[in-house]
């Protein structure tokens, strides 16, 4: 389960099960959980045991592969019906992250192509699993490309502010926004990171600080409300955040709290960068106003890590994301290139570009079971 740099791997297919690192237990304990049924995958996504847009896409694809592997159907059509039920559940698990729908379309498309080619049920199962592996491998390469491209935007000596968690725990590789920070650090740049705690679930405090510590990158944890005062004192050189969905015009949905950072950065003349794979772009969504923002349990606000803060009966709102207008974004760092204003034209151009190159997967050995193939 080791990954160079962080020493952890957030997800892995293991002989017919999905092994995840339960992120709700970090940083106090590294607990790995084996998911054996599609419903367990949906629950893991809903409870944030797995999280981060790219990782959610990978998890959803593996969830569909798991549903295919566990289906009792003997024929391809029955298998597709069972997969469709699992797909609906996975789609409903978290509505804002577009990578879930994107990955499920790819995995389902692989199954449908196998059925159209006259393949039997076992070959269809293998096709879905192979596509899930491809999605995971592509994201690892995507993170590398984002990190290398974004590192060029980081000064030789820089105080970087980031929000939420965008590292190996949220992706299939070194991360998106955090991948930029890691790449800059490895390039010899003197980087210090201001880590937003990221209320209400403290992904910055629990996860980002934990990962940066493993890389040996200097960092300081701050309360979310401290970001503006740091900018006013000249202690922030750039802001780098991730994204859960990018609209066609460049508006970005990300963890709640991102929007106010963009406003503050604009006021103080600080570059505000978004780092995300191109798979996060949703061309069907014209502007950020069309993005569905997930509303989570209010108890996440009234209590922190199980400790109640507010009086019993207190009403709370808990939007998990907010939308940052493209006008506040300096650039979007993507695996296919750098998107700048006008973002609509820039993203359309990147949509026509080729993504990072990926060596093809080997074919399944004859007669080998889909639960074991392509490990």
CATH code for the domain of 54: 1.20.120.420
- State whether 140 and 177 are in the same domain: no
Q: Does the pLDDT of residue 360 top 80, yes or no?
A: no
Tokens 């409903």 map to which residue? 92
- Contact (CB, 8 A) for 321 and 228: no
ω into 200 cis (within 30 of 0): yes
C-alpha–C-alpha distance, residues 255 and 177, integer Å = 13
The pLDDT confidence band at residue 164, using thresholds 50, 70 and 90, is very high
pLDDT digits (tens, 9 = 90+) for 43-63: 999 999 999 999 999 999 999
* Distance from C-alpha of 90 to C-alpha of 126, rounded to nearest angstrom: 20
Asked if the structure places residue 199 within a domain, the reply is yes
Residue 26: domain span = 11-144
The rounded percent of the chain whose pLDDT value lies above 70 is 93
Is 242:341 a contact under the CB 8 Å cutoff? no
CA distance 276 to 142: 9
Quick check: 4 pLDDT over 60? no
Residue 82 appears among annotated catalytic residues:
no
Give the pLDDT band of residue 354 (cuts 50, 70, 90).
confident
Tell me, yes or no, whether 359 lies in a domain: no
pTM recorded for the entire structure: 0.90
- Kindly state whether residues 221 and 125 are assigned to the same domain: no
Query: pLDDT, tens digit, for every residue of 183-210?
Result: 999 999 999 999 999 999 999 999 999 9
Q: Answer yes or no: is 295 within a domain.
A: yes
Confidence of residue 96 (pLDDT cuts 50, 70, 90): confident
Residue 222 and residue 295 in one domain: yes
Assess whether 140 and 151 both reside in one domain: no
How many domains does the chain fold into?
Answer: 2
Residue 258 neighbours by CB distance under 10 Å: 26
Q: Which of 139, 196, 244, 322 is catalytic?
A: 244
């Amino acid at each position: 389960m080791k990954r160079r740099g962080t020493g952890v791997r957030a997800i892995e297919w293991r002989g017919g099960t999905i092994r995840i690192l339960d992120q709700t237990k970090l940083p106090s304990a590294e607990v790995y959980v084996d998911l054996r049924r599609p419903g367990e995958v949906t629950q893991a996504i809903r409870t944030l045991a797995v999280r981060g847009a790219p990782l959610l896409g990978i998890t959803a694809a593996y969830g569909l592969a798991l549903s295919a592997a566990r289906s009792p159907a003997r024929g391809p059509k029955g298998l597709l019906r069972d997969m469709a039920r699992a797909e609906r559940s996975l789609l409903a698990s978290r509505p804002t992250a577009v990578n879930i729908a994107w990955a499920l379309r790819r995995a389902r498309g692989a199954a449908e192509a196998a059925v159209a080619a006259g393949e039997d049920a076992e070959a269809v199962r293998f096709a879905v699993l192979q596509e899930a592996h491809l999605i995971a491998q592509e994201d690892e390469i995507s993170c590398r490309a984002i990190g290398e491209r974004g590192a060029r935007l980081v000064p030789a000596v820089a105080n970087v502010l980031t929000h939420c968690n965008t590292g190996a725990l949220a992706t299939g590789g070194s991360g998106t926004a955090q991948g930029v920070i890691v790449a800059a650090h490895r390039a010899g740049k003197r980087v210090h990171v201001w880590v937003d705690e990221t209320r209400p679930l403290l992904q910055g405090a629990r996860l980002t600080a934990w990962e940066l510590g493993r890389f040996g990158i200097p960092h300081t944890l701050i309360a979310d409300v401290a970001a503006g005062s740091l900018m006013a004192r000249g202690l922030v050189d750039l802001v780098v955040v991730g994204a859960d969905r990018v609209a066609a015009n460049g508006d970005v949905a990300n963890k709640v709290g991102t929007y106010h950072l963009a406003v503050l950065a604009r006021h103080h003349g600080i570059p505000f960068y978004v780092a995300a794979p191109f798979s996060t772009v949703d061309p069907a969504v014209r502007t950020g106003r069309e993005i569905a923002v997930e509303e989570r349990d209010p108890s996440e606000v009234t209590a922190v890590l199980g400790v109640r803060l507010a009086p019993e009966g207190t009403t709370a709102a808990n939007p998990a994301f907010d939308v940052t207008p493209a006008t506040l974004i300096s650039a979007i760092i993507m695996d296919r290139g750098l998107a700048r204003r006008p973002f609509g034209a820039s993203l359309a151009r990147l949509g026509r570009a080729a993504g990072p190159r990926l060596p093809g997967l080997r074919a399944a050995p004859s007669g080998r079971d889909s639960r074991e193939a392509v490990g």
